[in-house]
Amino acid sequence: MELIKGIISVYNKSLKKKLTELKLKISTLDSDEGIRIDSGRGTKIFLNKRPDTYVVEIVREKNSNLKHSGEDIRFIQNIEDVIALVVKTLGKSFSEIEY
């Protein structure tokens, strides 16, 4: 039981570090840069920055042939809400690539 608690503790610290690093990347985005966040399970989030807001596009496998509906694009004002959407949409396992 202690081993399981230890593994969970390490996993939670790893996730917290990952989210902190993502938050830093988001906060330093320029308007001509973006971040692709990938679940590895068919869902991706594309994140760009406008002067006063973040543009978040959620692309799922079924609509990845450039037939994206407007419902999948969200305009978010703060980084905490972006992070919450990433975790809600992709879960705790994802990778990110800056472009």
Angle, CA of 7, 89 and 38, to the nearest 5°: 80
Domain positions in the chain: 2-98
- Which residues make beta-bridge pairs with 72? none
Look at 11-20, 23-32, 35-44, 50-59 and tell me which has the smallest mean pLDDT: 11-20
pLDDT of amino acid 6? 47
User: What pTM was computed for the model?
Assistant: 0.78
Q: Is the pLDDT of residue 33 over 90?
A: yes
- Encoded tokens for 55: 């543009």
pLDDT of amino acid 75? 96
CB 47 within 8 A of CB 28: no
pLDDT band at 14 (very low <50, low <70, confident <90, very high): confident
Compute the average pLDDT of residues 14-18. Answer: 86
pLDDT band at 7 (very low <50, low <70, confident <90, very high): very low
